[in-house]
Structure 1
Amino acid sequence: MSTALAVFVVQQEFSDASWKKSAPVIVNENGATIYLSANEGENLRKVQKAGRQLDNLGIASVQLSGEGWDFERQWAFANGYTDTRSKNKLQWASNAEALSQTRNIVNWTRELINLPPADIYPESLAKRVAEKLESIAPDQVSSKVIMGDDLKQEGWMGIHTVGRASKHAPCMLVLDYNPTNNADAEVDTVLIGKGITFDSGGYSLKSSEGMLAMKCDMGGAATVAGALALAVEQGLQKRVQLVLCCAENLVDGTAYKLGDVITYKNGTTVEVVNTDAEGRLVLADGLLYAGETGAKRIIDAATLTGAAQVAVGNEYNALFSVDDELANKALSTAAAQRENLWRLPLQPWHKENTPSAFADCANSRPQKGGGSGGASNAAGFLLRFAPRDGQGWLHFDIAGAYHNSANAMWATGATALGVRTIAALLND
């Protein structure tokens, strides 16, 4: 006999007087029941909350049972029912192959972000991602890792500068998924991920509380890697390159300092006014690399700014682009994938919002959080390095990627919000 708790969804009025009407799920001798309303958006939130409640009750295994379980309802339940260490067992009601495929990749992404910083450092992040993609498509994936002083030799000064103070050498992973096996095939999309495997803030040192969750600062790298893995498993037939900009932002006598000036491969000079605004420094290298490929589209993801989280909360990711058509496509894709995404302002003049008297620009404003409009100003800094003046470029500031503590929707830790959206954009 199965030991899994049966979970049902029913489209009818809540009627059990022994439970509060606000309860997302009712548990009795027959199993657990989620009562749905006419509002499907609210239904999905309720289903996800029901998953959280069952996890909080210590239910280790469930079977989604009966009619009414479409793909999105099952996925919403799975998001809520996934505990921090991904130990819960879930049997699907339908669409088992597609849901299991998605859940396996999303759980891998979450686990990567949740790993302790002793286990996930620049080289190990690059290695884990390369091994995962190679295991999915061994004949279509090739990769190289540029490490340490080789970054400086090749002109990738942002990554080298940020990571040079750590005993774990900084690196850039360049992974090529080429299903055509034609070396001259055009690159459709370059994915770029911020891979700061631990962020102390550098000399602009974070507080202990602010540093505690900074193992998640490689969430952008994990998100784009997970998105590519999912897209490949779903049958991606376009050439895509993945660029992870990996470093630990630590402090020793060789660390970069306030007032330093970085000269990038394209000649742009950047004054460092905040060593805790390091993500944009490494992403600039990724954008310059993407420009060299001639790719039609460029998508980057990063846990870049606290300002984005202030603007949209931690149940949304923030989107920036000066390409309206592509931005609207991303928003409609996110809506179809039931992932919260909100566009924030970005105009060409945002490039001028981090001025410097000593260089072409600064990496931030010398004030807490980068001042007002900090997320847009960070995106404006990146726009300086985006090819074609930003046409074909999307920047995801993934405010919803990680939760410091559990809430009614998510367990503590990584969410992998954005993986489905970016995978769907690749396969579009």
Structure 2
Amino acid sequence: MLNISLSSQPHSGVWGDNALVSYSGDGAVIHYGGDYPLRRIQQAARQLQGQGVTAANLEGKGWSYERQWAFYCGFATTKTTVQLSWASIDEDELELLNARRRSADWVRRVVNAGPQEMYPEKLAEEAVAFLKGIAGDAVSAQRIVGDELLEQGWIGTHSVGRGSVRPPVMLTVDYNPTGDPDAPVAACLVGKGITFDSGGYSIKASAGMVTMKCDMGGAATVTAGLGYAIEQGLRQRVKLILCCAENLIAGNAYKLGDILTYKNGQTVEIVNTDAEGRLVLADGLIAASEMKAPLVIDAATLTGAAMVAVGADYNALFSLDRELLSKAQQLSDLVNEPAWPLPLEKWHQGHCPSHYADTANSAVQKGGGFGGASNAAAFLSRFVDTDNCRWLHMDLAACFHDSGNARWSAGATGLGVANIAALLLQ
């Protein structure tokens, strides 16, 4: 196990001027001084991991909670289980680090799993097991599977998933620590759980499809966010809805020109089967609105347009409630999970017109046209009772990397989990 200490002083010597890491004996020193010290610490951890270090002991002064978490983010890897011993800090902060790591490790495991392993029913099973492992009998769950979805009116999830031999699932988890079955629901979380996305008949190229196991990152993020909030002492009732499906091609798959009629009466013309995430989320948002929760948060790997707008270091935030939008961004800064608001107004709802339905599920242009992320968020807003709840949409541009970089290994990052937990705890 390599001992790792910190220094705010730049290095000048055998390891190169301004090196991030220097070595002596059985230890290494991270030189974090300069701009963006947390990023430098994360880069150093990634450098150590890339050199074959798989066990690290953080020691010495300067290891604050934030710096230790930055180290973890760079040190965690896709294929190797790493060992990490935290530095001695306040006991409460140590418990918080362990809880946050448990949530992040769970996200990495389920998002990075191959689609043959992580299919809709398996994702639902994993989510329930994770939350029950934290909260025990305070957690109960209900699954609606396959054609039962159509019978109960959940047209979006059923349509997207019916082309797969592995049936779609809508999972509802009820975290109710009060023990009162009539307790009000304080918040509802909704996650996109597309366990593999071929694009359907609007099929993706191989280069764009190869990492589409990550398209259930929203479902994983909201689940882990709830778990992390529970570990921090959440005592209010929260419900979680995961809309899970595989978007595949088959003789019975949904197709261009289909018109879906949702439970709230909205009709949707399908002009792009690769804009499927918003179709399943619409079911979840209708269900969340029926629960009368005052706060609704959804999360999804929804649009490439969000990544174009904010890059892969930020998640994109949308809301018609400016106060909630500001609070979400403030909390993202507090937990060091960068997020940035993008435009959303009611009039964005008109940017996906249809001759045959209330709306199309996208603009008939590559990538959904200009403002594609805002147009997708506006589509979702049609299915939320925004007169009676505060609603936040998170387009998770930063939750997955197709390949490794200077700060992250390939795969899931867990960014968004702590932001959601902080919103619940507010």
Pairwise same-fold verdict (TM > 0.5): yes
SS at match of 2:386: helix
How far does the alpha carbon of each residue in 1:159-189 deviate from its partner, in whole angstroms, 9 at most, with x for none?
Answer: 0000001000001000000010111111011
Q: Structure 1: which amino acid aligns with 2:4? A: V
Write the mapping of 1:94-113 to structure 2, written as runs, cut at 5 A: 94=88, 95-113=93-111
Does residue 187 of structure 2 align to residue 189 of structure 1? yes
Partner of 1:382: 380
Aligned to 2:2: 5
Indicate the SS of the match to 1:295. Answer: coil
Distance (Å, rounded) in 2 between the aligned partners of 1:91 and 1:195: 33
Residues 272 and 390 (structure 1 numbering): CA distance in 2 closer, same or farther, change over 3 Å? farther
Query: Residue in 2 aligned with 1:276?
Result: 274
Matched length: 422
2:215 corresponds to 1:232: no
Partner of 1:55: 49
Is this contact kept in 2: 1:223–1:419, CA < 8 A?
Answer: yes
Post-superposition CA distance 1:35-66 (Å, at most 9, x none)? 23265xx1000000011000000011111010
Shift of residue 96, structure 1, vs aligned partner:
3.0
Go from structure 1 to structure 2 and tell me whether the alpha carbon gap of 1:101 and 1:8 turns closer, same or farther (over 3 Å shift). same
Verify the 8 A CA contact 1:383 1:390 in the aligned structure 2.
no
> Equivalences for 1:240-279 in 2 at 5 Å?
240-279=238-277
CA contact (8 A) 1:5 1:63 kept: yes
Q: How many angstroms apart in 2 are the aligned matches of 1:29 and 1:390?
A: 62
Contact 1:231/1:423, CA 8 A, preserved across alignment: yes
The residue number in structure 1 matching 2:345 is 347
Structure 2 counterpart of 1:299: 297
Q: Give the alignment partner of residue 70 of structure 2, picking from 76, 93, 108.
A: 76
Contact conserved, 1:199 with 1:211, CA < 8 A, in 2? yes
Q: Is the 8 A contact 1:322 1:391 kept in 2?
A: no
Aligned equivalent of 1:316, options 310, 314, 317: 314
**What is the letter of the counterpart of residue 69 of structure 1?**
W
Structure-2 separation of matches of 1:21 and 1:338: 28
Which of the numbers 363, 369, 373 marks the counterpart of 2:367?
A: 369
Match of 1:130 in 2: 128
In structure 2, distance between residues paired with 1:395 and 1:8: 39
Aligned to 1:172: 170
1:26 alignment partner in structure 2: 22
TM-score after normalising by structure 1? 0.97
Q: Which TM-score applies when normalising by structure 2? A: 0.97
- Between the aligned partners of 2:169 and 2:341, the Cα distance in structure 1 is 31
Mapped partners of 1:297, 1:123: distance in 2: 27
What residue ranges of structure 2 are gaps of 5+ in the alignment?
A: none
Paired amino acid for 2:79? R
Is the CA contact 2:197–2:247 (under 8 Å) kept in the aligned structure 1?
A: yes
Q: CA deviation at 1:100?
A: 1.6
Deviates more, 1:95-104 or 1:234-243: 95-104
Percent of aligned pairs with the same residue?
54
Partner secondary structure for residue 405 of structure 1:
coil
Change (3 A) 1:38 1:408: closer
Distance in structure 2 (CA, Å) of the matches to 1:298 and 1:86: 36
1:352-396 Cα shifts (integer Å, max 9, x gaps): 110000000000011110011000000010011111258500000
Contact 2:229-2:425 at 8 Å conserved across structures? yes
CA shift, 1:26, in A, is 1.5
Deviation, structure 1 residue 32:
1.0
Q: Can you list the C-alpha shifts for 1:202-241, whole angstroms capped at 9, x where unaligned?
A: 0000001110000000000000000011111111101000
Shift of 1:27: 2.1
Aligned to 1:115: 113
Residues 388-420 of structure 1 deviation map (CA, whole Å, 9 limit, x = unaligned): 258500000000011011000100100010001
Q: Which of 199, 205, 208 does residue 207 from structure 1 map onto? A: 205
Distance apart, 1:31 and its partner CA: 1.2
Q: Which amino acid in 2 is paired with 1:83?
A: T
Q: Name the counterpart of 2:357.
A: 359
1:197 Cα offset (Å): 0.3
Matched, 1:419 2:421: no
Is the 1:323–1:390 contact (alpha carbons within 8 Å) kept by the matching residues of 2?
no
* 1:168 match: secondary structure: coil
| CA offsets 1:318-346 (integer angstroms, 9 cap, x no match) | 00011011111111111000111010110
What do you get for the CA RMSD once the two structures are aligned? Answer: 1.1
CA distance in 2, matches of 1:98, 1:333: 16
SS in 2 for 1:136: helix
Secondary structure of the structure 2 residue equivalent to 1:159: helix
Q: Match for residue 151 of structure 1? A: 149
In the TM superposition, residue 139 of structure 1 has moved relative to its aligned partner by 1.7
Cα distance between partner residues in 2 of 1:308 and 1:58: 34
CA distance in 2, matches of 1:394, 1:92: 34
